Structure formats: C-alpha cells, structure tokens
Amino acid sequence: MRYLTLTYYKQPNGKVNESMTVTKHLRHNDWAMSSVILDFKTQEVLKCSMGGTTVPKNWDRIVSYYYQHYAATIERLFQENGHKVNADQSKEPIPIQ
C-alpha cells in the first residue's frame, strides 16, 4: 500500500466522523472526497484541508498528528515503502488546527 486517505463526514447533529483508508492507487473519488491524502512512497502531503480550510502541507507535522491514532498503520506504510519510522512520529504531536 502507498496512500493513506482520510475523509471527514459531518452529521446532521453537527458531529464529525472520520474515515481512514489505505490504498495502492488513488481514484478520482479519492481526490474528490478525501480531506487528507498522504503518499508514503514519496513522503509527500498531496492534499490536506480541514473544514474547507487548507492546512500547510508539512509532512512531519501531519504524520505525527495522525500517528497518535493510527500508529500501526503508519508504521506499516513506512516499512512497505522502504522507509524507517522517523523518531519524530513518536513524539508528542503538534495539533493541526
């Protein structure tokens, strides 16, 4: 697998649900629906927006933020794409918002 995508869905009651997927190839729907797209082969943030606000595409900051929730998945993505887990990912994450 190469890409980590996260999609946020707003419910009628105002709460937000998060959906995370891992994929080998990006599809048109991924680009249209995903709020965050991370490419673990090139270690690049392809897309990152939160609630319509574009967030700076800082790889280390964004990966460390999601690492606290998806550590096993992110470690697997690093390994599958020939990278070691950066020590910064295990540090206290800096909030994106």
What was the pLDDT predicted at 53? 83
59: Cα within 13 Å, side-chain hemisphere:
13
Task: Identify the band that residue 97 occupies on the pLDDT scale cut at 50, 70 and 90.
Answer: very low
Q: Which two tokens stand for residue 76?
A: 């697997």
Task: Identify the band that residue 86 occupies on the pLDDT scale cut at 50, 70 and 90.
Answer: low
Domain borders along the chain are 3-89
Q: Which two tokens stand for residue 62?
A: 């964004």
Q: What number is the average pLDDT over the span 46-52?
A: 87
Q: Which two tokens stand for residue 75?
A: 């470690």
Task: Identify the band that residue 93 occupies on the pLDDT scale cut at 50, 70 and 90.
Answer: very low
Selected residue with higher pLDDT from 84 and 31:
31
